Chains A and B, each alone.
With several copies, the nearest count.
Chain A
Amino acid sequence: MSRRRSVQTRPRRIVLPKAENETSQEISLTGGSTKQIQELIDLLRRNNLTELEFERQGIRIRIRHELSTRPLVTSAQDSVPTPLQQPMHSASAVTSVSDASTGFVTITSPIVGTFYRSPSPDADPYVEEGEFVKKGQVLCIVEAMKLMNEIESEVDGRLVKILVESTKSVEYGQALFLIDPRAAS
Chain B
Amino acid sequence: MFKKVLIANRGEIALRVIRACKELGIKTVAIHSEADALALHVRAADEKVCVGPAESALSYRNIPNVLSAAEITGVDAIHPGYGFLSENAHFAEVCESIGIKFIGPSSENIAMMGDKAKAREIVAKRGLPVTPGSPGELRSEEDALQAAQKIGFPVIIKATAGGGGRGMRVVNKAEDLGRAFQAAQAEAKSTFGNDGVYLERYFLEPRHIEVQVLADQHGRVIHLGERDCSIQRRHQKLVEETPSPAVDDKLRREIGRVAVEAVKAAHYRNVGTVEFLLDKDRQFYFMEVNTRIQVEHPITEMVTGIDLIKEQIRLAAGHPLSIRQQDVILTGHSLECRINAEDPEKFTPSPGTITKYNPPGGFGIRVDSAMESGSVVVPYYDSMIAKLITHGRDRQESTARMKRALGEFVIEGIKTTIPLHRRILDDPDFQKGHVSTTFLERFLAG
Q: Which residues does A use to contact B, with CB under 8 Å? A: 1, 9, 48, 50, 66-70, 84, 88-89, 91-92, 111-114, 144-145, 169, 171-174
Contact = CB atoms under 8 A, between A and B. Distances in A.
Interface string B401-427: 000000000001100000000000000
Contact of B35 (A50, A66, A84, A88): A88
Contact of A68 (B49, B98, B372): B372
B355 interface: yes
Chain B interface size, as a band, is 20 to 34
Interface of B: 34-35, 37-38, 43, 49-53, 58-59, 64-69, 71-73, 98, 352-353, 355-356, 372-376, 378, 412-413
Given A89-B34, A112-B66, 19 more contacts: A9-B58, A48-B355, A48-B413, A66-B374, A67-B373, A67-B375, A68-B373, A70-B38, A84-B352, A84-B353, A111-B64, A111-B68, A112-B49, A112-B72, A145-B71, A145-B98, A169-B73, A171-B49, A173-B34
A48 B413 CA distance: 7
A82 to B, nearest CB: 11
Contact of B51 (A66, A92, A172): A172
28 contacts: A1-B64, A48-B355, A48-B413, A67-B373, A68-B38, A68-B373, A68-B374, A68-B375, A68-B376, A88-B35, A111-B68, A112-B64, A112-B66, A112-B68, A112-B69, A113-B71, A113-B72, A144-B67, A144-B68, A144-B71, A145-B68, A169-B72, A171-B49, A172-B34, A172-B49, A172-B51, A172-B52, A172-B59
Contacts of A69: 38, 43
Contacts of B68: 111-113, 144-145
B356 A67 contact: yes
Nearest to B352: A84
Contact of A172 (B50, B98, B375, B378): B50
A113 B413 CA distance: 38
A112 B38 contact: no
A88 to B, nearest CB: 6
Contacts of A91: 38
A84 B413 contact: yes
Nearest to A144: B68
Contacts of A145: 64, 67-68, 71, 98
A110 B376 CA distance: 25
A173 B71 CA distance: 17
B266 to A, nearest CB: 30
A171 B51 contact: yes
Contacts of B413: 48, 84
A76 B413 CA distance: 22
B355 A50 contact: yes
Given A84-B355, A173-B34, A144 B374 contact: no
B380 to A, nearest CB: 11
A111 B49 CA distance: 11
Nearest to A92: B37
Given A84-B353, A113-B72, A145-B71, A173 B50 contact: yes
B50 A88 contact: no
A114 B373 CA distance: 36
Q: Looking at A1, A48, A111, A171, which has the most chain B CB atoms within 10 Å of its CB?
A: A171
Q: Looking at A69, A111, A172, which has the most chain B CB atoms within 10 Å of its CB?
A: A172
Nearest to A70: B38
Contacts of B71: 113, 144-145
B250 to A, nearest CB: 51
Contacts of B372: 67-68
Contacts of A174: 50
A114 B70 CA distance: 12
Nearest to B94: A145
Nearest to B48: A171
Contacts of A68: 38, 372-376
A84 B412 CA distance: 12
Contacts of A1: 64
CB-CB nearest 5 A-B residue pairs:
A67-B374, A169-B72, A68-B374, A67-B373, A144-B68
Contacts of A89: 34, 37
Contacts of A114: 72
Contacts of A111: 64-65, 68
